[in-house]
Amino acid sequence: MPSAEQSLLSRVIAPEQPSGQGISRYTLYSEAPSERDPEFVHIEDIPSRARLFNWEINVHTHPNMFQVVFVQSGQVRILIDGREETRYGPVMISVPPGVVHGFEFEREATVGWVITVSQLLMMDDQLSRQFAFSQPLLEKPNITSLPQDQQLEFINQTVAQLEHEYHSDAVGKQSMFVWLLFSLLTRLGRVIQQIPDSAPQDLHTERFRRLNQLIDEHYRQHHPVEFYADLLLTTPASLSRTCKQVAGKNITDLIYDRMILEAQRLLIYSSVPVSLIGYELGFNDPAYFSRFFRRRVGLSPSEFREQRERK
């Protein structure tokens, strides 16, 4: 069998930029909004897209997007985070942001859907506090074969409702989509909880997972790379290699990405003044925070907030 990079074709998703490790970083599709849109959600059935590209999707990452691939029936070859497995539906694959993944679907026999949601939406305070399965679902990839029971019936119905809401123009569409999504993920988390975790953790994968936990705890303090390397009992150079291999990014970019996600969340979901948001994120100078935000997002914080309020 040819290698993953050789056998899966890089034609299905619009590239954002190369990663330096031969793994592409992507927005979702060329016709979709930018990944900078923090409320972005998308659902699409597998056949309608996969037929266009010979049923093969090359290895790639979505830096700020969480994805669930639900194969209801048919065979799928899965390449995810250095693992390769072949499964038959029903199977659910959860892909956290930044995880390298690719698929080869059984031609004209695969039925299923791909659900994509912005990482920022997954971080919403109210939802995250009530979600019991953050670690198994949102911090590491999972491949979960689903039992033919009431769990599967619930998942089928929920995915059908998600697709309906996505294509409807009903009042409260986004809220309904989000709650259906968290209902689906909660049910999936229950299934995963019942399955022993037999997959060995690659050193780089585990170190990257811990690094992201530490960044989440300390990003407001603007610590240097050496701070995180010391906590992980490694060197900055070794930690940098881990980040490049797993995410195609350097450590500073990961820290800045986390700051920007929090800034966007506060700008959208609160009325806190921009200057106070900067202070909350560890910036002593509001003007410097605004310049930092513009460099990363392409808009000033005030412009970003105004744009979101117009939607």
Taking only the tens place, the pLDDT of each residue in 293-308 is 999 888 999 998 888 7
Catalogue all structural domains in the chain, each as residue range(s) with its CATH number. Answer: 4-193 (2.60.120.280), 203-310 (1.10.10.60)
**Residue 59 contacts residue 102 (beta carbons within 8 Å):** yes
This model's pTM is above 0.85: no
- Least confident piece of the model among 64-78, 121-135, 186-200, 221-235: 121-135
Average pLDDT over residues 193-199: 58
pLDDT score at 267: 87
- Least confident piece of the model among 194-203, 212-221, 228-237, 284-293: 194-203
pLDDT score at 212: 83
Buried b (16+ CB within 10 A) or exposed e, 95-118: bbbbbbbbbbbbeeebbbbbbbbb
The 3-state secondary structure of 243-304, one letter per residue:
HHHHHCCCHHHHHHHHHHHHHHHHHHHCCCCHHHHHHHCCCCCHHHHHHHHHHHHCCCHHHH
Average pLDDT over residues 80-101: 85
- Least confident piece of the model among 148-157, 185-194, 197-206: 197-206
pLDDT score at 133: 61
pLDDT score at 20: 38
